[in-house]
Amino acid sequence: MNITYRPPIPSRVSKPKVWEFAEKQRAAVGLKNGFELSELVSRNRGKIEYIGMFDRDQTDAIVVEPDGSFVIRLSSETGELRDNFTIAHELGHLLMHWPKVKKAHEGSGMRATRKVDESQEALVRCEWEANWFASAFLMPKEEFCEAYAKGVASETFGVTQSAVDVRAKTLGIDD
């Protein structure tokens, strides 16, 4: 059977709505920090694969099959904290964009790529939405503000300091 893989379709909801959705998803699965993500992926018919810098296919970041099973592809050159954010980002595509693709293109899969052509507004929007999702999914506002004030956000949530800095800035609590 020949499967067609479609690009993500943006939800077009506001950043605060994406954050709210992400925090609800976090609560629903009982996530405590980014270090639990690989287990969450496997519990939901997903797999994580690592690709080396010399692997031929460097393009895919998540591939969702028509039945909803999926593979997240991570670079073997990045560390665990960066990978945690990437996994959450790809889960954002799965939870927000895959349902739209499935509805619009029955029988197709979905493929989100590492690099997005900046001239393709819909794909750029999907990337923003997946980043907003990952940020709130991994670092929910209330807990984040508390950990940030104590200077332990990176360790608490299993993310890079860069991700912490961006989250603090978007919440308006950066120093």
Q: Which residue has the tokens 């960066």?
A: 82
Q: Express as a percent the part of the chain with pLDDT over 90.
A: 85
User: Which helix (H) or strand (E) is 102 found in, with range?
Assistant: helix 98-104
Chain-wide mean pLDDT for the chain? 94
Does the pLDDT at position 147 exceed 90?
Answer: yes
CB-CB contact of 7 with 58 (8 Å): no
User: Cβ contacts of residue 53 below 8 Å, gap of 6+?
Assistant: 75, 76, 77
Q: Give the domain ranges of the chain.
A: 5-139
If you average pLDDT over residues 5-31, what whole number do you get? 97
Q: pLDDT tens for residues 50-99?
A: 988 766 665 669 999 999 999 999 988 889 999 999 999 999 999 999 99
pTM (global) more than 0.75: yes
Beta partners for 75?
51
Q: DSSP letters of 74-105?
A: EETTS-HHHHHHHHHHHHHIIIIIHHHHHHHS
